[in-house]
Amino acid sequence: MKKSIISILLIVTLAGSKVLAQDFKEKYRPQFHFTPKANWMNDPNGMVYHNGIYHLFYQYYPDAKVWGPMHWGHATSKDMISWKEQPIALYPDSLGYIFSGSAVVDKNNTAGFGKDALVAIFTHHDPVQEKQKTGKHETQSIAYSLDDGKTWTKYKGNPVVQNPGISDFRDPKVRWFEAQKKWIMTLASKDRITFYSSPDLKSWSRESDFGAKEGGHGGVWECPDLFPIKHEGKDVWVLIVNINPGGPNKGSAGQYFLGNFDGKTFTSNSKETKWLDYGTDNYAAVTFANTGGRNILMGWMSNWQYANQVPTDPWRSANTIARELGLKTVGNEIYLTSIPVKELDALNSTGFLLKNVKVQDQLDLTERAKNKSGLFRLDLTTESKADFSIVLSNEVGNELIVGYNKAGNQYYIDRIKSGKVDFEKGFAEKHTAPRLATGSKISLTLLADVASVELFADNGLTVMTDIFFPDTPISKFHIKSVSGIFLDTLQYKSIKSRNDR
Ligand code: FRU
């Protein structure tokens, strides 16, 4: 009797510790992208660098693998690659669920919570009022932490921005505007962006609206961001606006505008709708605060079209790799560029370099690419003279194809036959993206984790992020071109699991 109780206890403890001590062995568990150990995650929130640590908060529902009452989960990292999950930072309260938002370091103690306090600015979403259809169920609130994000105190005067009667009124992204010594809040209000300003993070005044008639309007505007990047000696202001649905390949995506911000009004110089990422799986992407001269973007690697159905267990969703942003002029337009942060290189493992290789029909790199993790980074350069593709496949015939189509001058990711696709009818599709670069030299960087590919073409001018779920791990690797291409260089590096460091 006693013995059996002990063995039951042992089994329970072992089962419990298995979940806690994450082993990274579950099917589809990303190895160099952040995932919560268990349960539901969506948008990255409150990303901020503070005292040598990167903080990632995220929309989290700790009780199930589907979206529910939102909390802010928390993870920390020294390099934006290896993340350690921390206790939940913010729980729902009488004002509602804790929806998306941002965090700042209050260096001048403007709010009076303490010098260098971390202050989170987020949306309170009240489900009771939502049912009553008051149109006022989303308000903006703040909380602060004086111990590096470990514990948080919600401000007694919440909410700090009341709702004027707009049903979608959320996702505040706050930054310090040094020229006028004030805080600027960029807020998504349904089909436009509203800017507010504040001296102390507590009292906010409405400054202006932007975008009711600009950009993509195939869905609700959400999760904005506003920041300058130096380009050719001048500050160019970048306004990111995530939109759902209405993305270039359906569902959720991030668009951006380039222009000027004078502390009150944003003016766009963009003549066309521009997209941060043409893949289907980079949503709610915004930048880290307090990273000095660096602008680092990270998004949720999923799409509201199928996020609640993807076949992973016991968690759902990952984040994209962190990306360094820049600007590049092409013809008369300026575009954002994004490339993986250099910190990822620390996970590079064995690899090989090929130079001056002609690919006619196909080049089978399976044997050369064999490595422990099966994950890799590929950098190749070639000419935009013919169609070619990079094919990742396995023993059971699943194929994920990343390619260039010359006639359309497009890049694409085809996940039609990539494995498990039947959990949502629109998942098995081919996604395309325009090649924006004008020169004939193509350079591609491809990151392949267990269940995702991220393509950075032409030094990050065209980016595509797609998730996929092969029935067995990817084990074969080919470059294909029927009409033939010449590879100037092909550098393959296997990437270690962030768990193996
Ligand atoms: C975007 C979003 C945000 C909202 C959050 C709720 O994915 O819809 O607008 O704050 O998710 O979880």
* pLDDT, position 499: 74
The single-letter DSSP state of residue 111 is T
Q: Which of 460, 468, 337 is nearest to 401 (CA)?
A: 468
- How far is Cα 397 from Cα 379, in angstroms, rounded to an integer? 25
Question: Do 226 and 238 form a contact (C-beta atoms < 8 A)?
Answer: yes
- Ligand 1 site-directed mutation target among 138, 141, 222, most atoms within 8 Å of CB: 222
Cα of 17 from ligand 1 centre, angstroms: 32
Question: Do 245 and 218 form a contact (C-beta atoms < 8 A)?
Answer: yes
Cα of 70 from ligand 1 centre, angstroms: 9
71 pocket-lining for ligand 1 (C-beta < 6 Å)? no
Cα of 494 from ligand 1 centre, angstroms: 34
Question: Do 106 and 113 form a contact (C-beta atoms < 8 A)?
Answer: yes
Cα of 283 from ligand 1 centre, angstroms: 10
Ligand 1 atom with the shortest distance to the CA of 67: 12
Q: Tokens 């969506």 appear where?
A: 42
* pLDDT, position 5: 45
- Ligand 1 site-directed mutation target among 72, 100, 187, 189, most atoms within 8 Å of CB: 100
317 pocket-lining for ligand 1 (C-beta < 6 Å)? no
Cα of 137 from ligand 1 centre, angstroms: 14
171 pocket-lining for ligand 1 (C-beta < 6 Å)? yes
45 pocket-lining for ligand 1 (C-beta < 6 Å)? no
Phi and psi based region of residue 263 (left: phi greater than 0; alpha: psi -120 to 50; beta: remaining): left
100 pocket-lining for ligand 1 (C-beta < 6 Å)? yes
Question: Do 120 and 101 form a contact (C-beta atoms < 8 A)?
Answer: yes
223 pocket-lining for ligand 1 (C-beta < 6 Å)? yes
123 pocket-lining for ligand 1 (C-beta < 6 Å)? yes
Q: For residue 208, how many other CB atoms are within 10 A of its CB? A: 16
Cα of 99 from ligand 1 centre, angstroms: 6
- Ligand 1 site-directed mutation target among 72, 138, 223, 305, most atoms within 8 Å of CB: 223
138 pocket-lining for ligand 1 (C-beta < 6 Å)? no
Cα of 102 from ligand 1 centre, angstroms: 13
431 pocket-lining for ligand 1 (C-beta < 6 Å)? no
170 pocket-lining for ligand 1 (C-beta < 6 Å)? yes
**Is residue 220 helix, strand or coil?**
strand
Stated pTM of the model = 0.95
* pLDDT, position 149: 98
What token pair was written down for 441? 């030299």
Instruction: Enumerate domains of the chain plus CATH numbers.
Output: 34-320 (2.115.10.20), 349-500 (2.60.120.560)
Cα of 501 from ligand 1 centre, angstroms: 33
Sign of the Cα torsion 45, 49, 53, 54 reads: positive
- How far is Cα 123 from Cα 383, in angstroms, rounded to an integer? 48
End-to-end CA distance of the chain: 44
222 pocket-lining for ligand 1 (C-beta < 6 Å)? yes
284 pocket-lining for ligand 1 (C-beta < 6 Å)? yes
Question: Do 468 and 415 form a contact (C-beta atoms < 8 A)?
Answer: yes
Cα of 168 from ligand 1 centre, angstroms: 10
Q: For residue 357, how many other CB atoms are within 10 A of its CB? A: 15
Ligand 1 atom with the shortest distance to the CA of 123: 10
Residue nearest to atom 8 of ligand 1 (CA): 222
Residues catalogued as catalytic: 43
- How far is Cα 352 from Cα 354, in angstroms, rounded to an integer? 7
Regions of the chain short of the pLDDT cut 70: 1-23, 372-373, 500-501
122 pocket-lining for ligand 1 (C-beta < 6 Å)? no
The DSSP result for 184-217, as a single string, is EEEEEETTEEEEEEESSSSS-EEEEEE-TTSS--
- Ligand 1 site-directed mutation target among 61, 97, 170, most atoms within 8 Å of CB: 170
- Asked if the bond preceding 245 is cis, omega within 30° of 0, the reply is yes
* pLDDT, position 2: 43
Ligand 1 atom with the shortest distance to the CA of 252: 7
3-state SS of 136-198 is CCEEEEEEEECCCCCCCEECCCCCCECCCCCCCEEEEEEEEEHHHCEEEEEEEECCEEEEEEE
